[in-house]
Amino acid sequence: MGCAPSIHVSQSGVIYCRDSDESNSPRQTTSVSQGPAAPLHGLFVQTDAADAIPPSRASGPPSAARVRRARAELGSGSSAGSAAPAATTCRGRRRHCCSSAEAETQTSYTSVKVSSAEVRIGPMRLTQDPIQVLLIFAKEDSQSDGFWWACDRAGYRCNIARTPESALECFLDKHHEIIVIDHRQTRNFDAEAVCRSIRATNPSEHTVILAVVSQASDDHEEASVLPLLHAGFNRRFMENSSIIACYNELIQIEHGEVRSQFKLRACNSVFTALDHCHEAIEITSDDHVIQIHKVHRDSGDNSQTEPHSFRYKNRRKESIDVKSISSRGSDAPSLQNRRYPSMARIHSMTIEAPITKVINIINAAQENSPVTVAEALDRVLEILRTTELYSPQLGTKEEDPHTSDLVGGLMTDGLRRLSGNEYVFTKNVHQSHSHLAMPITINDVPPCVAQLLDNEESWDFNIFELEAVTHKRPLVYLGLKVFSRFGVCEFLNCSESTLRAWLQVIEANYHSSNAYHNSTHAADVLHATAFFLGKERVKGSLDQLDEVAALIAATVHDVDHPGRTNSFLCNAGSELAVLYNDTAVLESHHTALAFQLTVKDTKCNIFKNIDRNHYRTLRQAIIDMVLATEMTKHFEHVNKFVNSINKPMAAEIEGSDCECNPIGKNFPENQILIKRMMIKCADVANPCRPLDLCIEWAGRISEEYFAQTDEEKRQGLPVVMPVFDRNTCSIPKSQISFIDYFITDMFDAWDAFAHLPALMQHLADNYKHWKTLDDLKCKSLRLPSDS
């Protein structure tokens, strides 16, 4: 009786299904070969049954004397006078044609019953078929017989080719791991020319070629191996017909070069699979902490830069089982257009993230590998640890603006000087993510997260608790809840999975290394925006398109913020400052990148199903709101709001007994001013939060400003905010100045429109807290009695 079939990857490059029954008979499947020189086999059946081996070869079995010597040396225990005929005694010597030149190529199937072996590489389990060996000898002699019987003893499958043409044809068909070429005589064929012709094919990249050379006479100096190496040989074997000597040589090759090439092909296969993978890709450490997010390459994208779609498999539902192949060539252009030989099946492992398996394989492959292979794998790991796998190809592009003098500081430790005043910000690999499952829907979130989100409509919602339970990924969870409450998916006509993918892409492009401008700040601004949209006057002044635009703008308004202000970027002569002409540098970058990330991959394109006119209107609203967060135009925005909204509304209310919405508030110009004021207040609402949250935000923004000042002094740049020196700065005094100059008037105007008594009470209490600390000459965040 048969069990469920399993996928098997043969050593010869054939993938087939095998039923797990006693017959162990594989099914026919389409083979997958690699390299342009590899033939397309069509359908191929793999079998170990002895009856499938053709019963004879053109040149006949070996001589009886050689059989007796081989049996004695192999210690088989059978006497030379066995009654069995030679063809039966030499079952391992049965050969059949593997090319059109039947008399020139013979094949041996080992007399030792050997099945595919399971090789462990770290946590990986790879299925390895018996090694295939090609002997290229013009004539049969004791040396060729020595290797023949050595292959039989080792359980290898062996072919013998008599001519260069048949050898090349046989190799292209079988893709042998080891090739032994007779280099002792040159009158039959040029061994070095044969080696070069084989090396010219793609499958030979992972093949070890051995040269059999004659013993040097006592009166001649031993020849150099350089000519052999230049011809493409890997090893040299001094003529020795002893089966044990041949056996030892083959075993050393198997456990040395062949095993290393096997591991390297496994790495290549996983990278090929990841390149065509449409599932979630994460690189994690052994304790499942995410190291790198891998971007998916959309086959429909003609761009050479990597798309920015970050998809996560739902770990709560199932683990991701990577079934891949170990390609014998590393230059595979497309799995869809060509077939590639393979030799191993990668089974599912305990660690769920597929790209984590890549790291494990590479680390395991480095053990006992040749120096060149180990160095190559070091370079692979170095590339994986960069941000290009999961961030846009920005090169020397940098940060984003948020607050000009007192609102625009931020910290990053990825700054390095290139030449002159040019700087590059490199995002650090996020180390803080854990194995928390990403939700498929808003109903599929961990209970601890769901319990916190039940209170998200309250102004006192604690965003730092959400940051902690989501391991610094609060934006996806809060975004799903808020966007669902406002019907964003319905308005955009997109699925919740598309929205989830988009939120994941956006959050992945926030720098978790920033103390302030990270995805927690984005989630906080999103929460404040949603809270403001729930107020009656705001709700009555905006339509649904405005609401959706506001929520999206709040989500992306600081994406890829590097932790430095606009002034710093302009002083440093950064590429972003040059690109945007020193004007709203970071805000322009945020909006541009947000739309690039969104439209790059259809799986996260939340705009793909809306008509062109709605998209243009929505896009313009989002851009306008994000650009409004630039602090250099702070007073302009506030004054326009007061003159166009507050004063007409006050005059109308004074002339009426009811507090109905003022006439003219729904004019497009006024709607723009309301949206600008709303996101500006949401962006800097920290002083209006409950005291504990206000203190935490004050500490975070101060640390960013301290870091910028440190960097400016280190690089000899103008110090934009000298007051933010970590050795002398008074945080209470800086908060008082910030509230006095930027917050009080703006929130007075916003409160007069939206009616926010709770926020204004928090603002008064927090201001009193900072004044008390300042009066006590205390530079810390809390009173000594509160510590």
Across the chain, what does the average pLDDT equal? 74
| Strand-by-strand arrangement of the 157-161 sheet | 105-108, 157-161, 132-136, 178-182, 208-213, 235-238
Residue in 747, 638, 733 with CA at minimum distance from that of residue 684: 747
Q: Where are the beta strands (DSSP E) in 384-492?
A: 415-417, 423-425
Residue 134, phi then psi, degrees to nearest 5: -115, 120
- CB burial of residue 317 (10 Å; 0-12, 13-18, 19+): exposed
Known binding residue 683? Answer is yes
| Opening angle at CA 610, ends 608 and 616, nearest 5 | 95
Residue in 78, 74, 90 with CA at minimum distance from that of residue 244: 74
Known binding residue 520? Answer is yes
d(CA 748, CA 760): 8
Residue 110 contacts residue 335 (beta carbons within 8 Å): no
Strand partners, 327: none
Strands 29-30, 43-44: pairing is antiparallel
Residue 266 contacts residue 259 (beta carbons within 8 Å): no
Give the lowest-confidence range in 15-29, 36-50, 186-200, 616-630: 36-50
Q: What is the mean pLDDT of residues 558-585?
A: 93
Cα–Cα distances (Å) from 615 to 302, 404, 555, 672, 748, in that order, read 23, 31, 17, 17, 34
d(CA 412, CA 387): 15
Packing angle between helix 691-715 and helix 757-775, nearest 10 degrees? 60
User: What pLDDT is attached to residue 414?
Assistant: 30
Strand partners, 9: 15
User: What pLDDT is attached to residue 441?
Assistant: 59
**pLDDT digit string (tens) for 530-541?**
999 999 999 999
- When comparing pLDDT for 753 and 118, which is higher? 753
DSSP H stretches of helix in 716-743: 731-738
Question: Does pLDDT of 625 surpass 90?
Answer: yes
Question: Does pLDDT of 751 surpass 80?
Answer: yes
d(CA 295, CA 307): 6
User: What pLDDT is attached to residue 280?
Assistant: 55
Strand partners, 158: 108, 133
The encoded tokens of residue 691 equal 């005291």
- When comparing pLDDT for 260 and 664, which is higher? 260
Which residue reads 């799995």 in tokens?
Answer: 335
User: What pLDDT is attached to residue 436?
Assistant: 47
Residue 475 contacts residue 519 (beta carbons within 8 Å): yes
Length of the chain, please? Answer: 787
**pLDDT digit string (tens) for 756-780?**
999 999 999 999 999 999 888 887 7
Give the lowest-confidence range in 348-352, 375-379, 582-586: 348-352
Helix and strand tally (H, E) in the chain? Answer: 29, 16
Known binding residue 521? Answer is yes
3-state class (DSSP) for residue 698 = helix
Residue in 494, 484, 511, 505 with CA at minimum distance from that of residue 594: 505
Which contiguous run of DSSP H or E holds residue 466? Answer: helix 463-469
Residue 210, phi then psi, degrees to nearest 5: -110, 130
Residue 149 contacts residue 126 (beta carbons within 8 Å): no
The encoded tokens of residue 423 equal 């700087």
- CB burial of residue 547 (10 Å; 0-12, 13-18, 19+): buried
| Opening angle at CA 723, ends 720 and 728, nearest 5 | 140
Residue 159, phi then psi, degrees to nearest 5: -120, 145
User: What pLDDT is attached to residue 781?
Assistant: 78
Question: Does pLDDT of 94 surpass 70?
Answer: no
CA atoms within 13 A on the CB side of 2: 11
User: What pLDDT is attached to residue 184?
Assistant: 87
Q: What is the mean pLDDT of residues 341-355?
A: 39
Verify whether residue 517 is a known catalytic residue.
Answer: yes
d(CA 421, CA 570): 10
Give the lowest-confidence range in 5-14, 626-635, 707-716: 5-14
Residue 73 contacts residue 244 (beta carbons within 8 Å): yes
* Alpha carbon of residue 754 to chain centroid: 44
The encoded tokens of residue 576 equal 């972003």
Residue in 89, 84, 69 with CA at minimum distance from that of residue 150: 69
Cα–Cα distances (Å) from 624 to 588, 608, 630, 674, in that order, read 10, 21, 11, 12
Strands 235-238, 208-213: pairing is parallel
DSSP characters over 477-533: HHHHHHHHHTTHHHHHT--HHHHHHHHHHHHHTS-TTSSSSSHHHHHHHHHHHHHHH
Which contiguous run of DSSP H or E holds residue 293? Answer: strand 290-293
Q: What is the mean pLDDT of residues 720-749?
A: 92
Give percent above pLDDT 70 in the chain.
64
Known binding residue 519? Answer is yes
Cα–Cα distances (Å) from 739 to 403, 558, 634, 763, 782, in that order, read 13, 22, 13, 9, 17
**pLDDT digit string (tens) for 265-302?**
777 777 777 776 655 566 666 655 555 554 444 444 44
Strand partners, 282: 293
pTM of the model: 0.50
**pLDDT digit string (tens) for 25-43?**
443 333 333 333 333 332 2
Q: Say how many Å lie between the first and final Cα of the chain, rounded.
A: 72
User: What pLDDT is attached to residue 733?
Assistant: 92
User: What pLDDT is attached to residue 667?
Assistant: 81
Give the lowest-confidence range in 302-316, 370-384, 669-683: 302-316
**pLDDT digit string (tens) for 352-410?**
445 556 766 777 787 778 888 888 887 777 766 554 443 333 333 333 333 334 443 33
Question: Does pLDDT of 580 surpass 80?
Answer: yes
Residue in 264, 143, 142, 270 with CA at minimum distance from that of residue 208: 264
**pLDDT digit string (tens) for 161-218?**
999 999 999 999 989 999 999 998 777 889 999 999 999 998 888 899 999 998 877 7
Question: Does pLDDT of 321 surpass 50?
Answer: no
Strands 132-136, 105-108: pairing is unpaired
User: What pLDDT is attached to residue 779?
Assistant: 77
Residue 625 contacts residue 549 (beta carbons within 8 Å): yes
Give the lowest-confidence range in 55-59, 115-119, 520-524, 737-741: 55-59
User: What pLDDT is attached to residue 292?
Assistant: 54
Give percent above pLDDT 90 in the chain.
45
User: What pLDDT is attached to residue 783?
Assistant: 67
Question: Does pLDDT of 338 surpass 50?
Answer: no
3-state class (DSSP) for residue 369 = coil
The residue type of 254 is: E
Known binding residue 735? Answer is yes
Question: Does pLDDT of 466 surpass 80?
Answer: yes
Q: What is the mean pLDDT of residues 634-647?
A: 91
Which contiguous run of DSSP H or E holds residue 133? Answer: strand 132-136
- When comparing pLDDT for 700 and 661, which is higher? 700
DSSP state of 430: P
Q: What is the mean pLDDT of residues 568-579?
A: 93
User: What pLDDT is attached to residue 22?
Assistant: 39
Which residue reads 């207040």 in tokens?
Answer: 681
Residue of 175, 433, 517, 769 with catalytic role: 517
Strand partners, 128: 117
Q: What is the mean pLDDT of residues 641-660?
A: 77
Contacts of 29 (CB under 8 A, 6+ apart): 14, 15, 16, 17, 43, 44
**pLDDT digit string (tens) for 214-259?**
887 777 778 888 999 999 999 999 999 899 999 999 999 988 888 8
The residue type of 412 is: T
User: What pLDDT is attached to residue 710?
Assistant: 95
